[in-house]
Structure 1
Amino acid sequence: MQTLSLSRTLISAAVTSAFALVAVNASADLSSRYVDNDGDMVADAPSDESQWADPDTLVFAYTPVEDPAVYAGVWSDFLEHLSEATGKEVQFFPVQSNAAQLEALRAGRLHVAGFNTGSTPVAVNCGGFRPFAMMASDDGSFGYEMEIITYPGSGIASVEDLAGRQMAFTAETSNSGFRAPSALLLSEYGLEADKDYSTAFSGSHDNSILGVVNKDYEAAAIANSVGTRMIARGVVNEGDYEIIYTSETFPTTAYGLAHNLKPELAESIQDAFFSYDWEGTPLEAEFANSGESQFIPISYEENWSVIRTIADATGVTYDCD
């Protein structure tokens, strides 16, 4: 299994040191609704066959974005492939928030999904999410960086300049949109949220980028892969925002399924991801902009260790019950 690579700009030594105080392989914190007898930190499939789900229609949701309708088209060809591979009807569910996506999973209304980096541990522990795939480039490399951005002429040229200014985050469950940048600002720069700078929550990386470009926010923390795709689509232009900080590389959206799907169905869903031919598809057109062209297998225990460490370092707990 591939390990995380580091980008050319590493997260600060002070923050890295703080994170190192927490065990990288944090203990699983699954809801009491689930069991993990094999020790892989994700919920096992029910041993009782009567608890297996075999829906006539599979519901798929991609992590919340500014315009879900755009991504319904992006995923359309893949969902046709998923339908053919499973023999099921497949429906795209345009979720508006991380909370709505998680609640749909917990309630059994969501069967296959892509959860953003920071929401994946919440989905695993509270929703029984079983991640198995991630997007990667042709050579198998993967990941994105957290960036802190501002608009030209804002007067913010460095992280220190955020003191007394406004900072937009996406959602409290987001790694690059909240947890990593808030830890960075406090640990290295001594900037405490809502004390040394004011905060806002936009709901998504798309909204944060547009908010900065339109000067609704003075600065924002974003996943740079989202910015790259927005520029490629012409939603924003090069130079519409400036980057004042770039982090280490983090894993991207995790793709997985509900823990209680019938094992044969779960296997066919996974096979569909790894057998999908991206060439000439809307998925290729969209995600090639951020260098992604295939699905690769992942291990939640290994690939999300740095994310669990950040969550522990920032005091995140999972009160799922």
Structure 2
Amino acid sequence: MRPNMMRLDTDAIYLVTGAAGFIGFHLTKRLLGLGCTVIGVDNLNDYYEVTLKEDRLRLLACEQFFFYKVDLADRKEIDTIFTRHQVTHVINLAAQAGVRHSIDNPYVYLQSNLVGFLNILECCRHHAVKHLVYASSSSVYGLNSKIPYSTNDKVDNPVSLYAATKKSNELMAHAYTHLYHIPTTGLRFFTVYGPYGRPDMAYFSFSKRIMEGKSITVFNHGDMWRDFTYIDDIITALEHIIPNPPEENEAKDRYKIYNIGNNKPVRLRQFIETLEQCLGKTAEKEYLPMQPGDVYQTYADVTDLMEDFDFRPNTPLEQGLEAFVSWFKPYYGYLSHHV
């Protein structure tokens, strides 16, 4: 563990972009619960159901939460928010997500993930932000065959535009760290799941279709591996990372990348079986080949996270899916008479 580890400062001002999103909602909830002041930014786009985002925001409403419906690509509005609230820490979780969606809608990804991120970097530069933490993705590993994936591996072979934008974020952050001495930490998230999750994720859409008696599409005949990571583990890792900017590296830059994954990949077939048990219903399955942009497996090496913060995400899949289903069924009205 790093020496002189800091805890979250309740006098700091935390800006969370994507605050109405899955991870952003859970992080904001944790920060508010600890007595912190949070500035939330989200454009509430319709990539998935806006009502879910609005419901998340309703649960966050309190005196210490200030929300702005703003697009990160709006440079003037973003700068105004930084000035008005004297932001000290930024957690950039806003992005256009989805590997397959990036194949059909490439321009949306450039606006949100590149232009939007540049605006955040510029605001951090001009407002003396103490630490920028930003979401990268396990998708940057692309076609890498070596496992587990290490942050020391080369990541020059993205297989989707989404992955390319996330790798670009890491490069942009490095440049701003080097030029303007902004401490930055990038987080390569591995298949995050849990209550109030993203409906576009496979576990979520599987659950809906299973409960409605519809078939589910299983790519590569279920022979794919994912490092499923429960949301509470992600938030606990963030709680450690946010108040502790990187120390200087050999180049005198305060720049760091971490993997955040469960460090225990699960085969898709096994995942579906566990989900069926939690839902109490068996799925009709349609098996298809691998889709463009997909990778065979993800597997996080979390050695750095353990060494620096004495922390490893480790919620068992069964426990995490039980918690998801306990939220999912009542939220969508899948009560006992539907089963």
Task: Say whether the fold is shared (TM-score over 0.5).
Answer: no
Choose between structure 1 and 2 for higher RCO, CA contacts under 8 A separated by at least 6 residues: 1
